[in-house]
C-alpha cells in the first residue's frame, strides 16, 4: 500500500505541476493520474489503498475546509448570509428536478430512480470549489463583494440538500414509501446542529489551548485542531448533521477568538494541503470508471448539460437582489458547476443496494465528474481575472 501511495504522490504532484505550467488548474493533472493508474485503467494501485480511499479523501477535505473556516470572518459571512442561504438550496433543487424529469422521460427511469440520479448529480463539489475560492481570497479577486465567501458558504450547505433528497429517493426505491416533507424539514435542523456542534468543538479546543502545561507549541495545537475536526466530521456523518459546515465553523470561531493562532494555523495548513490535495484528487480520479462513463453516451451528456442549465438558472435567481453585477453573477454560475466528491462517494450506492437502474445512475454520476470537474476548475481559474474585481 505504501508503494501505491508513493506512486500517487510522486506522479500526481508532477502531473499537477505540468498542467499548472499550461496555465490550467493542477488538480486536472492529478485527476487524470488517478484515472490512469486506478482499477479501471492500468490497475496499479493496491486494493487496500482503495478500501480506505473514502477516509483519506475525507481527511483531505477536512483540511481544506479548516483552511476555509480560518479565513472566514463573521462580519463577511453576515454580509452574504441571505444570498448564501439561497445559493445553498435553489441551484441544487433546480438542477436535481431538471435531471430527474429528463432521466424519467429520456431513460425510462422510475420516479424514485430518477430522483436518486437527480440529487446525486446536483451536489456541487467542495473538493474543487473550496481550494479555488481560497486561492481567489489570497489573490484578492472578488473580495470587495465577498464573492468567495458567498460561494464557500453556499457550497458547504448545498451537499446537505442533495444528500438528504438522494437518501429520501433511495428509501422510496427500496421501501416504496418515504416522507419527503419530513426529510426536507430535517435540513434546517441538520444545518443548525452542524453549526452548533462546530461552535462547541471550537470552544473545547480553545479551553485546551489555554491550559499551558498540556499544549504549548502551535504545531501541537494544530494537531489537536485536525484531530477534533476529524472526530467531529466522523460523528456528524453518522448522525446526519451538516458536518462540512461544522468543520468550517470550528475554523471561523478560532479566527474570531484567537486571530494570531488562526493565522499561524492557516499558514501551516497551506503546507499540509500540498500533500493532501494530491491524495484527494488522485483518489477521486481512481474512483472514476471511464468505461461506465462512456456507456452513458450522448443522452447522458445531454441530461447533464440540461441539469447545468437548471443549476445556472438557480444561481442567477439566488443572486437576485444582491449587489453583484452581471459579470460577477456569471462567475458564480461557473464556480458552482464542478462535481466530484459526492458523485464519487455515493454514485454507486443505488447499484450496491440492488436498484434496477443502478448501473445507469452510476454511469451518469461518473460522466458528470468527467464533464464538470475540469470545466468548473478551468472556469474558476480563467474566469476570475476576466469577471471579478481585484483588490490591490
Residue 375 lies in a domain: yes
**What single string gives the DSSP state of each residue in 80-107?**
THHHHHHHHHHHHHHHHHHHHHHHHHHS
In a domain, 288, yes or no: no
Kindly report the CATH number assigned to the domain that includes residue 329.
1.20.1530.20
Beta partners for residue 141, in sequence order: 390
> Looking at the domain assignment, is residue 367 inside a domain?
yes
Q: Domains in the chain: how many in total?
A: 1
In 3D space, the residue among 232, 137, 226 whose CA is nearest the CA of residue 218 turns out to be 226
Q: Is residue 129 part of a domain?
A: yes
Please state whether 325 falls in left (phi above 0), alpha (psi between -120 and 50) or beta: beta
DSSP state of 212: T
pLDDT of residue 179: 65
pLDDT at residue 178 in the model: 62
Question: What's the rounded Cα separation, in Å, for the pair 4 and 7?
Answer: 5
Dihedral sign computed on CA atoms, order 315, 310, 35, 19: negative
Predicted confidence at residue 346, as pLDDT, reads 80
Dihedral (CA of 54, 65, 350, 168) sign: positive
Distance CA 364, CA 106 (A): 13
Q: What φ, ψ does residue 356 adopt, rounded to 5°?
A: -55, -40
**Containing domain of residue 76, as a range?**
56-275+301-387
Looking at the domain assignment, is residue 305 inside a domain? yes
Distance CA 273, CA 283 (A): 15
Residue 20, in any domain of the structure: no
- Judged by phi (left if over 0) then psi (alpha if -120 to 50, else beta), residue 339 lies in beta
What does the block give as the cell for 147?
464573492
Residues 6+ apart with CB under 8 A from 333: 311, 312, 315, 316
Q: Mean pLDDT of successive 10-residue segments in the chain (392 residues)?
A: 92 92 83 90 91 86 86 76 87 95 92 92 88 88 88 84 84 72 73 90 91 78 94 86 85 90 90 88 82 80 95 95 92 92 80 85 86 90 90 68
Does 319 reside within a domain? yes
* Residue 280 domain-assigned (yes or no): no
How far is residue 2 from each of residues 6, 9, 47, 59, 284, measured CA to CA in Å?
6, 10, 12, 17, 18
Question: In sequence order, which residues have a C-beta less than 8 Å from that of residue 249 and are 6 or more positions away?
Answer: 69, 194, 195, 197, 198, 199, 202
Amino acid at each position: 500500500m505504501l508503494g501505491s501511495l508513493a506512486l500517487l504522490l510522486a506522479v500526481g504532484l508532477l502531473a499537477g505541476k505540468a498542467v499548472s505550467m499550461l496555465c490550467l488548474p493542477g488538480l486536472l493533472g492529478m485527476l487524470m493520474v488517478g484515472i490512469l493508474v486506478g482499477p479501471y485503467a492500468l490497475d496499479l494501485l493496491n486494493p487496500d489503498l482503495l478500501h480506505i480511499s473514502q477516509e483519506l479523501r475525507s481527511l483531505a477535505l477536512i483540511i481544506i475546509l479548516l483552511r476555509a473556516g480560518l479565513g472566514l470572518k463573521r462580519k463577511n459571512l453576515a454580509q452574504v448570509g441571505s444570498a448564501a442561504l439561497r445559493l445553498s438550496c435553489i441551484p441544487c433543487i433546480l438542477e436535481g428536478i431538471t435531471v430527474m424529469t429528463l432521466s424519467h422521460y429520456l431513460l425510462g427511469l422510475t420516479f424514485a430512480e430518477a430522483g436518486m440520479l437527480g440529487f446525486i448529480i446536483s451536489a456541487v463539489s467542495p473538493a474543487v470549489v473550496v481550494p479555488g475560492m481560497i486561492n481567489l481570497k489570497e489573490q484578492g479577486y472578488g473580495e470587495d463583494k465577498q464573492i468567495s465567501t458567498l460561494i464557500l458558504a453556499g457550497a458547504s450547505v448545498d451537499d446537505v440538500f442533495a444528500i438528504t433528497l438522494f437518501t429520501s429517493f433511495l428509501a422510496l426505491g427500496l421501501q416504496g414509501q418515504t416522507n419527503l416533507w419530513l426529510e426536507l424539514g430535517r435540513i434546517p435542523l441538520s444545518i443548525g446542529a452542524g453549526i452548533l456542534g462546530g461552535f462547541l468543538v471550537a470552544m473545547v479546543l480553545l479551553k485546551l489551548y489555554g491550559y499551558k502545561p498540556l499544549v504549548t507549541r502551535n504545531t501541537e495545537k494544530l494537531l489537536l485542531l485536525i484531530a477534533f475536526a476529524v472526530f467531529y466530521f466522523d460523528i456528524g456523518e453518522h448522525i446526519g448533521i451538516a458536518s462540512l459546515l461544522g468543520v468550517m465553523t470550528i475554523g471561523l470561531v478560532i479566527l474570531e477568538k484567537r486571530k494570531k493562532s488562526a493565522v499561524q494555523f492557516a499558514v501551516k495548513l497551506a503546507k499540509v494541503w500540498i500533500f493532501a490535495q494530491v491524495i484527494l484528487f488522485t483518489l477521486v480520479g481512481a474512483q472514476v470508471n471511464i468505461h461506465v462513463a462512456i456507456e452513458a453516451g450522448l443522452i447522458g451528456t445531454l441530461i447533464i448539460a440540461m441539469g447545468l442549465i437548471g443549476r445556472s438558472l438557480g444561481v442567477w435567481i439566488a443572486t437576485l437582489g444582491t449587489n453583484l453585477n452581471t459579470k460577477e453573477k456569471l462567475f458564480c454560475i461557473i464556480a458552482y458547476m464542478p462535481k466530484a466528491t459526492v458523485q464519487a462517494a455515493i454514485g454507486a450506492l443505488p447499484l450496491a443496494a440492488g436498484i434496477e437502474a443502478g448501473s445507469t445512475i452510476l454511469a451518469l454520476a461518473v460522466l458528470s465528474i468527467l464533464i464538470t470537474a475540469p470545466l468548473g476548475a478551468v472556469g474558476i481559474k480563467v474566469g476570475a481575472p476576466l469577471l471579478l474585481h481585484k483588490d490591490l
